[in-house]
Chains A and B, each alone.
Chain A
Amino acid sequence: MSNTRILELIVGAFVILGVLAVFFLTMRVSNLASQGDTRGGYLVQARFENIGGLKAGAPVSMAGVRVGRVTGIQIDPQSFEAVVSIELGSRYNYIPDDSDASILTAGLLGEQYIGLAPGGSERPLQAGDTIKFTQSALILEQIIGQFLFSKAEQGLDKPATTP
């Protein structure tokens, strides 16, 4: 083999390695392939009083299985509720339309996501539907505030006993 042939082979191998690495980054690391899964799904909406720290792109799961993701968050100018658009994978076309959506937190400090609990209706959710039963995010500060407030009230009922 001539010298230039070896050189070209080595450079070709280097370029292939580099392209493979880019491929690895797009497919294995950023998961471009499975993002296409939920694309082409169908859109439903859900209204929440308070969404806490929910962000667009957050997962929507049912029984812990990811079935879709949050695509957008707006506020309703009349009722001042948060309107969350949810894209559900087209494979999951059997979710009952009286399912319950609640905003949950993964772990104590984790990201917030929407958990769907199935209802008993025969009719499945369809594109454009609105999920009727929703439960807002738990705001940790409010809970602590309520807890402290109720403790303080208890303290008022029972005046401190003097020794």
Chain B
Amino acid sequence: MRQALLLPFEIVLDFVQRLGRSVIFLGNTISALPALLLRPSLIVQQMYSIGVLSLIIIVISGAFVGMVLALQGYRTLVDFGAEESLGAVVALTIVRELGPVVTALLFAGRAGSAVAAEIGLMRATEQLDGMSMMAVDPIKRVVAPRFLAGVLCLPLLTAIFSMMAIGVVGGYLIGVQLLGVDSGAYWSQIQSTVEFEGDVLNGIIKSLAFGVVISWIAVFQGYHAAPTAEGVSRATTRTVVVSSLVVLGLDFILTSLMFGGV
């Protein structure tokens, strides 16, 4: 009876403890970053497995998101005879919201889960403990490169996603080549509505914040996974679920900070 009453407190306490542990973990990871400058090859390796290998899914999704937006936007705009504004609709939607958020969600699914599983498996097979035994700090050797690579890669991937969606294939292909919007009008509408500081820079800041959050969650979940097969699978699932939710929530906060005040 007494135990049943105390259960909610236990859950809350567990949560707070986990949160505190993750913040301390983030602090440790960040303080290990300067040491990485001595071994840039570690970052390059991680940028390959985190960034380059995510490129295909980002490019293809970017193209299709842009295509769908152009198709839907055109159907609505053509009723008002305003199909020339299609470029502005596609570009603003992509640069402000869909680019950073969709890229972050795909990144969490593609790269975040991989990082969590990799570190979790190292934990389960006692490789991390082995490193500590040999006086190699696993946070410096394993965690920090993955964290930094994730933070660096997400803004680049977001920019590539936006470029694919607006200009190269997505909106341009459907709007200009297929539906016959004038190419000059498409670009001039984009250029007159999208601002550098207001839209592009805020999009990049957003993706940088998402990169920090996703990488943080992924390395933390992997590092503190239970050293069993089930623990690794749980860490992977948690990484994807938690980082997707946090990205969406954080996006709302950042949007209301950046675009909410009139």
Q: How far is the CA of A11 from the CA of B44 in the complex (A)?
A: 7
B95 at the interface (CB under 8 A from A): yes
Among A20-28, A42-50, A83-91, A115-123, the stretch in contact with B? A20-28
Query: In the complex, are the beta carbons of A14 and B52 less than 8 A apart?
Result: yes
Among B186-194, B239-247, B252-260, the stretch in contact with A? B186-194
Among B129-137, B156-164, B215-223, the stretch in contact with A? B156-164
B44 to A: closest C-beta gap in Å: 5
Given known A-B contacts A22-B159, A25-B95, A29-B166, A10 and B200 have beta carbons under 8 A apart? no
**Contact-residue bracket for chain A:** 20 to 34
Partner of B163, one of A8, A25, A31, A35: A25
B9 at the interface (CB under 8 A from A): no
A121 to B: closest C-beta gap in Å: 31
Query: In the complex, are the beta carbons of B47 and A11 less than 8 A apart?
Result: yes
A163 to B: closest C-beta gap in Å: 42
**Complex interface bits, B137-179 against A, C-beta within 8 A gives 1, otherwise 0:** 0000000000000000001110110110011000000000000
A71 to B: closest C-beta gap in Å: 14
Q: How far is the CA of A30 from the CA of B87 in the complex (A)?
A: 12
Residue of chain A at shortest CB distance from B188: A31
Query: In the complex, are the beta carbons of A11 and B51 less than 8 A apart?
Result: yes
Query: In the complex, are the beta carbons of A26 and B196 less than 8 A apart?
Result: yes
B54-101 residues with Cβ-Cβ distance < 8 A to A are 55, 80, 82, 91, 95
Query: In the complex, are the beta carbons of A21 and B196 less than 8 A apart?
Result: no
Partner of B47, one of A14, A30, A34, A109: A14
Query: In the complex, are the beta carbons of A25 and B200 less than 8 A apart?
Result: yes
Query: In the complex, are the beta carbons of A15 and B156 less than 8 A apart?
Result: yes
Q: How far is the CA of A34 from the CA of B192 in the complex (A)?
A: 10
Given known A-B contacts A14-B55, A18-B155, A24-B163, A32 and B196 have beta carbons under 8 A apart? yes
**Interface of chain B, main secondary structure:** helix
Q: How far is the CA of A32 from the CA of B196 in the complex (A)?
A: 6
Chain A residues whose CB sits within 8 angstroms of the CB of B166 once the complex forms: 29
Indicate the member of A8, A14, A35 with the most B CB atoms within 10 Å: A14
Q: How far is the CA of A4 from the CA of B156 in the complex (A)?
A: 22
Q: How far is the CA of A8 from the CA of B46 in the complex (A)?
A: 11
B28 at the interface (CB under 8 A from A): no
Chain B residues whose CB sits within 8 angstroms of the CB of A10 once the complex forms: 48, 52
A15-67 residues with Cβ-Cβ distance < 8 A to B are 15, 17-22, 24-26, 28-32, 34-35, 59
Chain B residues whose CB sits within 8 angstroms of the CB of A11 once the complex forms: 44, 47-48, 51-52
Chain B residues whose CB sits within 8 angstroms of the CB of A21 once the complex forms: 156, 159-160, 162-163
Query: In the complex, are the beta carbons of A29 and B200 less than 8 A apart?
Result: yes
Residue of chain A at shortest CB distance from B196: A30
A152 at the interface (CB under 8 A from B): no
A161 to B: closest C-beta gap in Å: 41
Chain A residues whose CB sits within 8 angstroms of the CB of B91 once the complex forms: 29
A82-103 residues with Cβ-Cβ distance < 8 A to B are none
With A11-B52, A29-B95 given, name 5 new contacts (CB 8 A): A14-B47, A14-B48, A18-B155, A29-B167, A34-B191
Q: Residues on A close to B: CB < 8 A?
A: 4, 7-8, 10-11, 14-15, 17-22, 24-26, 28-32, 34-35, 59, 107, 109
